[in-house]
Amino acid sequence: MSSSSTYLPLDWLAEIPVFPLPNVVFFPGTQLPLHIFEPRYRALMRSCIDSDRMVMAVTLLKPGYEANYEGCPPMYEICTVGKIEKHEELSDGRYNLVLRGLFRARLHELPMGNVSFRRARTDHLEAKRGAERVSRDAMTTLLSTASLVAAMVRRQHPDFSLGVQPDDPPQQVADTLADRLLADPGARQDILETLDVAERVKRLTGYVATVLGQLETQSTQGRGTVQ
């Protein structure tokens, strides 16, 4: 399997390790650096390495997870499966790694059995559903709004970029912009769970417009405090 492939063998999909995290929503086509230190997730990494199946699902824990964090708190079923592109085992058994998002997936959790980490049967979700209904005007509006946000962000972070090109597929543009511009985990999960690409572009445009409004308000208030 090439590193750019978005498909996995069926037997891999039948049982894939799951890394549930608070406040982290991972998107296809993006990179996610992780530092793994909990014993159960060190075991997950060791299993990936030993089996030569360098993939895992990363999903968001649902609100209220704190009460049962050490156990199996509820997690969202829609997530992203990622390939481990780089990994480093540290001298104390911790790991640093970088995941590359491959595809959206729906999890069907399996019994833990004799392992300490969670696992699931995984359905590969269609990436292009509704993409043919995304209009040029809709993409122009999204990209224009995102560009205004980026211009404001670059005032403090000159190297910031949106990471997309106008001719990229709409599903890729939406996922990349959601990753770059949305901080709220709830908003990010909403975009991840919006499987229809046309609807995803529409919702993301609304979220990005809200971010733009917040930045403009902060900028105005900042100017107002200058003596």
Percent of the chain with pLDDT over 90: 84
Cα angle 197-15-68, degrees, rounded to a multiple of 5 = 85
> What band does 9 get if pLDDT is binned at 50, 70 and 90?
confident
Model confidence pLDDT, tens digit, residues 180-212: 999 999 999 999 999 999 999 999 999 999 999
Taking alpha carbons only, the member of 188, 187, 209, 192 closest to residue 138 is: 209
Question: Which residue stretches of 38-135 are H helix?
Answer: 39-51
Question: Which of 11-20, 68-77, 99-108, 146-155 is least confident?
Answer: 68-77
> What band does 5 get if pLDDT is binned at 50, 70 and 90?
low
Question: Which residue stretches of 80-135 are H helix?
Answer: none
> What band does 6 get if pLDDT is binned at 50, 70 and 90?
low
Model confidence pLDDT, tens digit, residues 21-52: 999 999 999 999 999 999 999 999 999 999 99
pLDDT at 143 exceeding the cut of 50:
yes
